[in-house]
Chain A
Amino acid sequence: MLFSDLVVIGGGPAGMSAALAAAGHGIKVTLLERMESLGGQLVKQTHRFFGSESEYAGTRGIRIADILREKVESNRLIDCRRGSTALGIYEDGVVTFEEGTQYKKVNMDRLVVATGASEKMLVFEGNDLPGVYGAGAVQTLMNLYGVLPGRKVLMVGAGNIGLIVTYQLLQAGVRVAAIVDAADHIGGYLVHASKVRRCGVPVLLGTTIRAALGTTEVEGAVIQKLDSHFHPIPGTEQRLDVDTVCLSVGLSPLTELLRLAGCKMRYIPALGGFVPVHNSYMQTSRSDIFVAGDASCVEEASSAMMEGAIAGLSAAISLHVPSAGILEQRERRIRELAALRAGDVGAKIRNGLAVMAD
């Protein structure tokens, strides 16, 4: 049995930020990461970040992953356990995990769950064919392993991920036939949309995928226009010559461990689906469990890093560790997060969090 003041599950931007924030105030942290290296989904984000300068705006995601990883790995208060998958959370404060082929236990006083999110599916004929990928999978294949998913892609979803991954496909030399989105407006930042349009990729709004064609893998796709009630308009089907369909239709928080631990959950579509109820200190309905990043509400990496810092500081504060300026530091982080969400783009999250606070 290992002993730790704080266990952090997940070594992505949120989890690493939580571990660093708590360790910065003398807290002993055990960080569990199921993959062989830290970084979460930052390791494949080749674009430059927006947001606040304190969260590395202007820096590429892959570089932010390096910066955080170096800080975490050189911190002597953080026991960084890679290749370790958290399995269970028990009433007596024990977290069990699988490390390689070994079953291990760690006893904790506080827990931060930063498990991230998984990609959503879309219902259409042939959606299980090889060659239909989540947008994250396409990013992983290309940016981590240098492998192409196919030669010509249909992108489904014109949110930020759809737009950014389209640009990354073009950078890797893959053709993108079109981006379709059922909505009547582009969900992502217009600066990203303009970039892909300038490269000649049409963004077809009020349009969806009806089928992926092929016998053993994708050999084509059918798209169709939708009316204002999202009903397909007969006669507007169009066949596209593509070998890959990339779905960028949102993410769902990975909350199994939080449910297991008995944290109160609520269904709030604006936040990604079932989310753990939490306050502005990132504390769940269980006073010893905190959340951060996409597991708390689906947003993006800049906010995940801020939430991680808030969660790590809150865990430290709740352990009654006397540390100068820690309350002020947390207040500053909470203000920065609010500022990040202040604009039009943050409205959805603000509304979702207002529902949660009800």
Chain B
Amino acid sequence: MRIQQHPILNFEPAEEIPFYFEGKKLTGKLGDTIASALHANNIRMLRHEHRPRGLFCAIGNCASCLMEVDGRPNVRVCVEKLRPGMVVKIQKGNGTLGKEEK
């Protein structure tokens, strides 16, 4: 969900950025991080290591939000900017490198 109206801040309409999450095509906005784009699409479970994990600190401190992005594991999606066509996946445990994936 995105903020519709705000008494102090002004969120200008921004260019739409298409990306993929678990094979599904979604849309974020220019300026989004991967995490903010997923949240805007109501997706909060980002990683699964025995238990589901999500965003916690949002500024790159805590490593709760590690995901697989374009085949690369352990990307801190709270600080990684969204780019067009990114392939984002829920990371299982420590993640795997693209070619090792079974």
Binding site for B on A (CB under 8 A): 34-36, 41, 46, 60, 118-119, 128-134, 136-137, 140-151, 171-173, 215-217, 254
Contact = CB atoms under 8 A, between A and B. Distances in A.
Contacts of A36: 81
Contacts of A134: 56-58, 62
B19 to A, nearest CB: 15
A145 B31 contact: yes
Contacts of B61: 118-119, 254
Contacts of A60: 8
B56 A133 contact: yes
B18 interface: no
Interface of B: 1-9, 11, 31-33, 35-36, 39-40, 44-46, 51-62, 64, 78-79, 81
A128 B4 contact: no
Nearest to A214: B52
Contacts of A137: 55-59, 78
Contact of A119 (B8, B9, B52, B57): B57
Contacts of B6: 146, 171-172
B2 A133 contact: no
B74 to A, nearest CB: 15
Of A119, A129, A172, chain B has the most CB atoms within 10 Å of the CB of A172
A148 B57 contact: no
A154 to B, nearest CB: 16
Contacts, number: 101
A133 to B, nearest CB: 6
B33 A130 contact: no
Given A171-B8, A216-B45, A148 B55 contact: no
Contacts of A216: 45, 52
Contacts of A140: 58-59, 78
B58 to A, nearest CB: 4
B8 A147 contact: no
A215 B46 CA distance: 14
The 5 A-B pairs of least Cβ separation, nearest first, read A130-B54, A137-B58, A145-B36, A146-B11, A140-B58
11 contacts: A41-B59, A119-B57, A130-B54, A134-B57, A137-B56, A140-B59, A141-B35, A144-B36, A146-B9, A171-B6, A216-B45
Given A118-B61, A137-B56, A141-B58, A146 B3 contact: yes
A252 B46 CA distance: 25
A148 B3 contact: yes
A142 B55 CA distance: 13
Given A130-B44, A130-B45, A131-B44, A173 B5 contact: yes
A150 B36 CA distance: 12
Contacts of B33: 145
Contacts of A146: 2-3, 6, 9, 11
Given A46-B9, A147-B40, A130 B58 contact: no
A308 to B, nearest CB: 19
A118 B52 contact: no
Nearest to A170: B7
B51 A128 contact: yes
Contacts of B5: 173
B82 to A, nearest CB: 10
A66 B54 CA distance: 31
Given A173-B3, A173-B4, A149 B57 contact: no
Contacts of B51: 128-129
A148 B54 contact: no
A265 to B, nearest CB: 19
A33 to B, nearest CB: 12
Nearest to B47: A130
Contacts of B62: 118-119, 134
Contacts of A254: 61
A119 B39 CA distance: 20
Given A145-B32, A148-B2, A217-B45, A118 B53 contact: no
Of B32, B33, B55, chain A has the most CB atoms within 10 Å of the CB of B55
